[in-house]
Structure 1
Amino acid sequence: MHGSPHTVGDVMTRNPVAVGRDAPFRDVVTLMDRWKVSALPVLEGGGRVIGVVSEADLLSREGFRDRDPDRFAARELPAGLARAGGATAGELMNAPAVTVHADATVAEAARAMARRGVKRLPVVDGAGVLRGIVSRADLLKVFLRADEELTEEVRREVVDRLFPLSADHIRVEVTEGVVTLTGWIDSPEPAPVAERLARAVEGVVDVRCRLCPVAVHDDPH
């Protein structure tokens, strides 16, 4: 992976498993079991994503095995339960699908998941055609970046930019994703900025800022 910000395209799963609108209930279950996934994009017309069917949707269907709601009763049910009588992916899916583009940042995808309460997002192109899928686990991959890679990026993007004249006097150490900045700086003002910028580097778990201003004494002469 390259420097920040990382994009969905860096971490997504390409060529994901998907189903068509008319895929029967049992086929959906079989695919989920075979590929060990908990949700599948639903496609139509050249691979366009029109929805997502999840394990929760399938379990809702099973909950009505002995009492399938008729059309009138379904109107009185919450949106999720109203689909419970469905027998195909198109009837069971959540639609429209919450999607993301490959060039969206990891942070943008994480916010979309949190805001919409979903665990994965189909990745689509400008025409809405499926190009991949990104999960919560994929977004956490940025925290697997090597300490050496993080050290290099913090030095380049934070230390060298904020302290071009005194960068050689500042030490950057990263252990298990935790950044420690140590050294002397001309004034205390940039220290909080350095801490904030280091914390914004993707993959950084925490920052310990130990930058101290050089004591300035009046010239006795």
Structure 2
Amino acid sequence: MHATLHSVSDVMTHTVAAVGRKATFKEIVQLMQDWKVSALPVLEGEGRVVGVVSEADLLPKEEFRDSDPDRYTQLRRLSDLAKAGAITAEELMTSPALTTRPDATLAQAARTMAHAKVKRLPVVTELGMLEGIVSRADLLKVFLRSDDEIAEEVRLELVAYLFPMPGSAIRVEVHDGVVRLAGHVRDTSLIPVAARLVRAVEGVVDVDFDLEGHDSVTASGHSSAATVAESSTGF
């Protein structure tokens, strides 16, 4: 069984706008405007990522432009006040940069973004060299997979492996990303396993089961029958 697992390299953007350490405040703002992005990797040398400068790093300059913060605010927001007076990417950036690798799974990248509350991650090599950038929107591209493509993967990579003929006959239907498995299975104990594996298929929105099973012969020599109808409530 070799189910497809998409990696960051499959969905990332390869052409990336970036700045050097000495890029000025206005150059950064202009580049963000031109590229319609909210953050830029900061590079040094031949392309090693040393930080990220975002809109959040730039906003303190406007926030504190005509204000005189009190002592409490000064103590509580030392970092923001420092950025309010910054004029280069080196002074503004968040460092070290939070990054991901090209071979990271989409789930790993999504967890990193969620925990750090960021919208995008630079994608770097083992040496920290910039290869691309991946955004929240990029991670959602897997849900653009067609129903036919998802059904084929579930049918060939999962159902055929877990419930081979003879003894099992399962129909695989997919509508708007929701997978439905219906029919007869020889071993109902594998249904929870199937549920987990189907949910792990990229692009699957939900899973629904309507399976009737004929379990193995009991100690008394009689076969036991079981019917399983499960409707997944999500992930």
**Normalized against structure 2, the TM-score is what?**
0.84
Residue aligning to 1:192 = 192
Is residue 2:50 matched to residue 1:50?
Answer: yes
1:75 CA displacement: 7.3
Structure 1 distance, partners of 2:202, 2:182, is 20
Q: 2: distance between equivalents of 1:167 and 1:103?
A: 39
- CA displacement at 1:79 relative to structure 2: 3.1
CA offsets, 1:110-148, max 9 Å, x none?
Answer: 111112221100001121111100000000001111111
Q: Which residue of 2 aligns with 1:153?
A: 153
CA contact (8 A) 2:121 2:134 kept: yes
| 2:176 corresponding residue in structure 1 | 176
Partner-residue secondary structure (3-state), 1:32: helix
Deviations 1:38-62 (A, max 9, x none): 1111111111111111111111121
Using the TM superposition, name which of 33-42 and 84-93 deviates more. Answer: 84-93
Q: Does 1:119 align with 2:127?
A: no
Residue aligning to 1:82: 82
2:229 aligned partner? none
Q: 1:20 is matched with which residue?
A: 20
Structure 1 residue identity aligned to 2:204: V
Greater Cα offset, 194-203 or 79-88:
79-88
2: CA distance, partners of 1:57 / 1:150: 41
- Which deviates the most, 7-16 or 87-96? 87-96
Determine if contact 1:166/1:185 at 8 Å carries over to the other structure: no
**Which AA in structure 2 matches 1:44?**
E
> Aligned with 2:121: secondary structure?
strand
Distance 1:210 1:166 in 2: 19
Tell me the distance in 2 between the aligned counterparts of 1:81 and 1:207: 50
Counterpart contact for 1:119–1:135, Cα < 8 Å: yes
CA distance in 2, matches of 1:54, 1:205: 32
Across the two proteins, how many residue pairs are aligned to each other?
215
State the superposition RMSD in angstroms: 2.4
CA distance in 2, matches of 1:26, 1:167: 69
Q: Percent identity?
A: 59
Q: Which moved more, 1:159-168 or 1:89-98?
A: 159-168
Matches of 2:52 and 2:94, distance apart in 1: 5
Report the AA paired with residue 85 of structure 1: G
Match of 1:207 in 2: 207
- 1:149 is paired with a residue whose SS is helix
Counterpart in the other structure of 1:140? 140
Provide closer, same or farther for how the CA distance between residues 111 and 184 of structure 1 changes in structure 2, counting only shifts above 3 A: same
CA contact (8 A) 1:159 1:167 kept: no
